[in-house]
């Protein structure tokens, strides 16, 4: 961090025009100055030492010169074995980490790649910013195979071409690993509810290959779903339809990077920061840019400069896409290409540095943030994430903020909160109802809101490494994956954790209770959080003591009731009415009771609403005895909302 100001010592007597110290006092003056400057000198020495450490670390971690990678050649169909120890489906970064992990632990491993280019979202999708997980005391928590990749590409952002070479080299170095690409029509081979292998089409032939264990690394959990594992889709688990917006990364040439720096410095489109080859901000683009496609929007930029001078921009949001519909995805991809041209025309006119820009290329694939959430032996919940929960069967430690992108036009993305760190239990990788299968990456067993953090690629690659170790361990010890999962503090999971730690994973136990969890209103807030009603931001500001308004009270309560109804928690409530008058001014308890009654179907004036709501049990006991003229706080809104939900659910 750079200091905000420079501290410069001055001689006040000199500034006043007085003479310097007399010669016989000069030595004492020098000693006095040194003593007074000792703290600053110590700080300077410390900073110098830190700079030296940073330089040495940078030199040690500087990416090596790769040259052309030895490609892991794809075999002819006749050369593919009939059986392997482990089959990994998908060459997304998570699948690569999984396959490398399994092969390093002694398993004959088959990696099935859905495209010729390996690396998926990071290479074919050109998403070259890595959301690195740093937890308590700024420790990097996703290490192991992910950290190998991170160091070899030179950190974040990385050059996409270099990223492809690094992935190819990682695969080619594993003697026990066979990579087959591209394959189509991948389906699980089933014996009852046990996955015994994978069938697929390759070079025009249909092949069936068996395996000791199968690991699903597809972004959508395709193999698990086809095998019969239960799942939720998108945001339905908290009573909403749809999924987070998708994106097509934009790739431009001819951009003057100095112009981008100038736009950031002058705040042409709002606050922004450009450092070396990375910039972010320009949030006013969301309001200024007029899309040609009604289901698209331009948000603030994540913009990076590649080694060849081209730039990549993650900013184009695509709403309303069904990520499980191949036709819809193809159509959205074409529409996003057309919108990219419209964006370019706008940037040429309005954005400094883009005057001569051209479209350099289009990524091979869309960036899909959300689709299926496979249900496993444990479902990681948003409260687990926000309460920094640790689990005995931890296989990954995540830290990323809970970043929820908008699902439709007219909405804004938001950050539920910013955990210090939380662990992902092995149970999240073991799907219900299906044997012999693990699921890694964003389709693993996370609620939609928890996936706002756990969906990031470093966490996904770490789950892949853990799955590779666990799959081989289970084969070697003749124990099922479910048996391991159902003893989360047993000897098998401890042995898997020890192996992961030996191979670079960071899995130290921890206990970190956040301060906000001690607030009296937090138990109610955590239930509102599960319904997607909390936006605490990067600073975890729940605003428990902030006075609330009619508008906020109405929005929180109606949203909670509607989402609870969608989850069939309130079947007796016929409908939810939005109140007629919702001014943005403080609301008192009697006014709140009138609103509660109206929303749930009873009209009453403010003079009679209080007693009527008390009779119906719609006033929280802890708020019934307080000052009726004092404005309610946001914490009170959460308490009142959860009380009404509980009361109406009791009466269903």
Answer whether residue 150 shows pLDDT above 50.
Answer: yes
Structure tokens at 637: 């809104």
The sign of the CA dihedral 631, 635, 641, 646 is: negative
φ, ψ (nearest 5 deg) of residue 474: -65, -35
Residues 6+ apart with CB under 8 A from 549: 583, 584, 585, 586, 587
Answer whether residue 528 shows pLDDT above 90.
Answer: yes
pLDDT at 131: 86
Q: Rounded to whole angstroms, what are the CA distances from 72 to 65, 166, 173, 223?
A: 19, 12, 8, 24
Q: If you average pLDDT over every residue of the chain, what do you get? A: 91
- DSSP letter, residue 407: S
pLDDT in tens, 453-463: 999 999 999 99
User: What confidence tier does 438 reach under pLDDT thresholds 50, 70, 90?
Assistant: very high
Answer whether residue 562 shows pLDDT above 50.
Answer: yes
Residues listed for the chain:
652
CA angle in degrees (0–180, nearest 5) for 97-152-115: 45
Helix (H, G, I), strand (E, B) or coil at 253: strand
pLDDT, greater one: 568 or 35: 568
pLDDT at 297: 97
Weakest-pLDDT range from 235-239, 310-314, 381-385, 628-632: 628-632
- DSSP letter, residue 24: G
Answer whether residue 239 shows pLDDT above 80.
Answer: yes
Structure tokens at 373: 């959430």
Answer whether residue 146 shows pLDDT above 80.
Answer: yes
CA distance 332 to 334: 5
- CB-based burial, 527-541: b 16+ in 10 Å, e otherwise: bbbbbbbbbbeeebe
User: What confidence tier does 327 reach under pLDDT thresholds 50, 70, 90?
Assistant: very high
Residues 6+ apart with CB under 8 A from 434: 193, 194, 195, 224, 227, 228, 229
Structure tokens at 481: 């994956």
User: What confidence tier does 39 reach under pLDDT thresholds 50, 70, 90?
Assistant: low
H helices of 353-432, in order, are 382-386
pLDDT in tens, 302-314: 999 999 999 999 9
* Matching residue, tokens 């683009």: 285
pLDDT at 60: 37
Long-range contacts of 147-150 (CB under 8 A, 24+ apart): 147/504, 148/504, 149/93, 149/97, 149/461, 150/458
- What percentage of the chain reaches a pLDDT higher than 70? 88
Preceding amide of 182 cis, omega within 30: yes
CA distance 434 to 481: 10
Weakest-pLDDT range from 265-279, 311-325, 621-635: 621-635
Q: In sequence order, what are the beta bridge partners of 83? A: 210
pLDDT in tens, 371-423: 999 999 999 999 999 999 999 999 999 999 999 999 999 889 999 999 999 99
pLDDT, greater one: 18 or 248: 248
Q: Which of 257, 440, 426, 404 is nearest to 317 (CA)?
A: 404
pLDDT at 572: 86
Q: What is the pTM of this model?
A: 0.89
pLDDT at 68: 59
Structure tokens at 291: 């899309």
- What percentage of the chain reaches a pLDDT higher than 90? 85
Q: In sequence order, what are the beta bridge partners of 278? A: 275, 304
- DSSP letter, residue 567: T
User: What confidence tier does 43 reach under pLDDT thresholds 50, 70, 90?
Assistant: low
Answer whether residue 1 shows pLDDT above 70.
Answer: no
Helix (H, G, I), strand (E, B) or coil at 48: helix
User: What confidence tier does 33 reach under pLDDT thresholds 50, 70, 90?
Assistant: very low
Answer whether residue 69 shows pLDDT above 90.
Answer: no
């Amino acid at each position: 961090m750079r200091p905000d100001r420079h501290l410069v010592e001055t001689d006040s007597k000199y500034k006043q025009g007085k003479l310097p110290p007399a010669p016989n006092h000069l030595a004492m003056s020098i000693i006095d100055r040194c003593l007074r400057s000792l703290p600053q000198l110590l700080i300077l020495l410390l900073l110098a030492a830190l700079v030296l450490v940073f330089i040495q670390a940078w030199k040690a971690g500087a990416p090596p010169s790769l040259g052309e990678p030895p490609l892991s050649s794809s075999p002819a169909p006749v050369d593919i074995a009939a059986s392997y120890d482990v089959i990994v489906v998908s060459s997304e970064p998570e699948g690569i980490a999984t396959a490398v992990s399994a092969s390093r632990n002694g398993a004959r491993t088959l990696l099935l790649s859905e495209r010729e280019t390996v690396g998926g979202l990071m290479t074919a999708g050109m998403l070259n910013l890595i959301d690195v997980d740093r937890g308590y005391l700024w420790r990097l928590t996703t290490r192991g195979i992910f950290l190998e990749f991170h160091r070899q590409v030179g950190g974040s952002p990385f050059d996409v071409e270099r990223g492809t070479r690094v992935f190819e080299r990682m695969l080619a170095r594993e003697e026990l690993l066979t990579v087959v690409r591209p394959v189509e029509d991948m389906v699980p081979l089933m014996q009852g509810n046990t996955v015994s292998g994978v069938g697929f089409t390759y070079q025009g032939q249909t092949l069936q290959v068996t395996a000791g264990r199968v690991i699903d690394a597809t972004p959508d959990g395709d193999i698990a779903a086809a095998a019969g594992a239960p799942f939720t889709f998108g945001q339905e688990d908290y009573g909403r339809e749809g999924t987070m917006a998708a994106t097509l990364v934009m790739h431009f040439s001819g951009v003057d990077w100095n112009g981008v720096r100038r736009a950031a410095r002058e705040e042409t489109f709002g606050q922004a920061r450009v450092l070396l080859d990375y910039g972010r901000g320009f949030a006013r683009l969301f309001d200024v840019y007029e899309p040609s496609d009604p289901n698209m929007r331009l948000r603030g930029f994540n913009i990076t400069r590649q080694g060849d001078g081209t730039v990549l921009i993650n900013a184009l949001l695509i709403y309303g896409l069904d990520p499980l519909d191949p036709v819809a995805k193809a159509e959205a991809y074409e529409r996003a290409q057309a919108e990219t041209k419209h964006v370019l025309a706008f940037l040429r006119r309005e954005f400094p540095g883009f005057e001569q820009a051209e479209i350099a290329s289009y990524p091979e694939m869309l960036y899909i943030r959300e689709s299926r959430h496979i249900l496993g032996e444990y479902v990681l919940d948003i409260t687990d994430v926000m309460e920094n929960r640790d689990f005995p069967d931890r296989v990954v430690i995540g830290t990323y903020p809970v970043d929820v992108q908008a699902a439709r036009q007219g909405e804004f993305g938001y950050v539920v909160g910013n955990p210090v760190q939380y662990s992902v239990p092995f149970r999240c990788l073991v799907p219900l109802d299906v044997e012999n299968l693990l699921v890694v990456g964003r389709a693993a067993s996370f609620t939609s809101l928890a996936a706002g953090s756990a969906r990031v690629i470093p966490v996904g690659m770490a789950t892949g490494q853990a799955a590779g170790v666990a799959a081989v361990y289970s084969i070697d010890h003749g124990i099922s994956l479910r048996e391991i999962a159902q003893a989360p503090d047993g000897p098998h999971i401890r042995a898997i954790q020890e192996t992961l730690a030996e191979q670079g994973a960071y899995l130290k136990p921890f206990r970190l209770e956040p301060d906000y969890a001690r607030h009296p209103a937090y138990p109610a807030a955590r239930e509102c959080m599960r319904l997607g009603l909390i936006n605490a931001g990067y600073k975890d500001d729940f605003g428990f003591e902030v006075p609330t308004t009619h508008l906020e009270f109405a929005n929180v309560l109606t949203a909670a009731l509607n989402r609870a109804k969608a989850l069939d928690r309130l079947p007796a409530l016929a409908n939810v009415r939005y109140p007629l008058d919702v001014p943005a001014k403080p609301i008192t308890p009697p006014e709140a009771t009138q609103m509660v009654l109206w929303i749930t179907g009873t009209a009453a004036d403010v003079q009679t609403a209080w007693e009527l709501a008390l009779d119906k049990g719609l006033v929280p006991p802890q708020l019934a005895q307080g000052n009726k003229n004092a404005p309610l706080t946001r914490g009170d809104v959460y308490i009142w909302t959860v009380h009404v939900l509980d009361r109406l659910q009791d009466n269903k």
